[in-house]
Chains A and B, each alone.
Chain A
């Protein structure tokens, strides 16, 4: 047990207490270039928002309130709750070269900068105007986002999987179990352990008795 604990400790990446987390994942080369081991940066203070109070979800349409693209509406591509960041698709972009090597200056692409949560608001889907949001409970007891101005419920955006698979359009492969077989209930609770049940089914007779051993 101790060996596995040691190995898991070694595998877990350790970061200093004042590590500044950015848009790149910490194990990428870009993040290592921005945060080399000895670097100390000024501490960023993030407004503490509880997880249940967070109202912007990935896939939502939001409007920008301040900055270069003020007044524009865009879809949320990524959310960083720890830094109250929201990255929209194609908005608040700056341009940079990517993949340069030797003399080739690289491809000129637009990369989005993150926006703080207080600089974006959700949009009322009916009249497409920005509103403030509150979490309220419906008559059924469901917790939903309600726009303060109009009182309409803002539905949750459809969850799109990262691998691009749409469950309704999935076709099973030869090694996949069909949904009916997966959900079919075969379990009957009994006072037998798995080993005893399997031995019964496979007609294994175990007449040997374990040798007396001492536990201490």
Chain B
């Protein structure tokens, strides 16, 4: 069973390799032949040199070929060997927002399969040291997936805010670390409570007494740098205004 799958995979890889490297009118012949052999259930006897000849495979009767949908890792056969493949615009968040949750769920898997196909193509092109046809397709799919994720997050956020009033999905709180800095500590999920977790008890979420004076000093430093930046900005704007005076009466320039 697994030998048949492996032989099928190697055969498909070989066909693909052949299609990418051969670039003349013979390429179309190869493609059609590969296509026909791929889709017809051939005996494993064809791939003699590739698969192991185990005693089990020497039966006269062979079971049907194992396809397992591996053709979805590859592009449509008419695009094999092309230098550029036409592709449309990516989905925008506005277009995705009108779709139902079920549609979005299905679309996510469509995107995922397309992305897997393009990544396979990219890797094979790298292996063959050839340029990948139309790499912008990968960017389009990734952007569409990110936008879909954003839309789903928006829906979850709105539902959570409505039902619980919580702004964040993941619990957390403001804590002070050992250096005296206040930061948003994001909670992690644990199987045991905190008073039984020896590693958590060793973490210090308070500043020791000898660190306390430095908190004030670092705050002063931060304020000073902020004021300096603002003053520098104002000074720069003033000098730019002096360098480029605004012409009140628009001088005629022709």
Interface residues of A (CB under 8 A from B): 1, 45, 47-48, 63, 65, 121, 129-130, 132, 148, 163, 170, 172-177, 182-188, 191-194, 197-198, 201, 211, 213-216
Contact = CB atoms under 8 A, between A and B. Distances in A.
B237 interface: yes
A175 B250 CA distance: 55
Interface stretch (B20-28, B38-46, B62-70, B92-100): B92-100
B194 interface: yes
Interface of B: 76, 86-88, 91, 95, 97-105, 114, 136, 152, 155-156, 159, 162-163, 171, 186-194, 200, 237, 240, 243-244, 250, 253-254
Contact of A216 (B86, B91, B187, B243): B187
5 contacts: A121-B254, A174-B76, A185-B98, A186-B100, A216-B194
Given A65-B253, A182-B95, A193-B159, A48 B188 contact: no
B97 A187 contact: yes
B88 A172 contact: yes
A148 B159 CA distance: 52
B87 A175 contact: yes
Contacts of B194: 214, 216
A175 B76 CA distance: 10
A188 B102 CA distance: 11
Contacts of A47: 240, 243-244
Contact of B190 (A1, A185, A188, A213): A213
B88 A173 contact: yes
Contacts of B162: 191
A216 B188 contact: yes
A183 to B, nearest CB: 7
Contact of B99 (A173, A175, A187, A213): A187
Nearest to A63: B254
Nearest to A200: B102
A214 B105 contact: no
B105 A194 contact: yes
Contact of B103 (A130, A174, A186, A193): A186
B101 A176 contact: no
Given A183-B95, A185-B98, A173 B103 contact: no
B159 A173 contact: no
A215 B102 contact: no
A216 B102 contact: no
A132 B250 contact: yes
A214 B98 contact: no
Given A132-B250, A214-B190, A216-B190, 12 more contacts: A45-B240, A47-B240, A63-B254, A130-B253, A170-B88, A175-B114, A185-B98, A186-B100, A193-B159, A194-B156, A211-B191, A215-B189
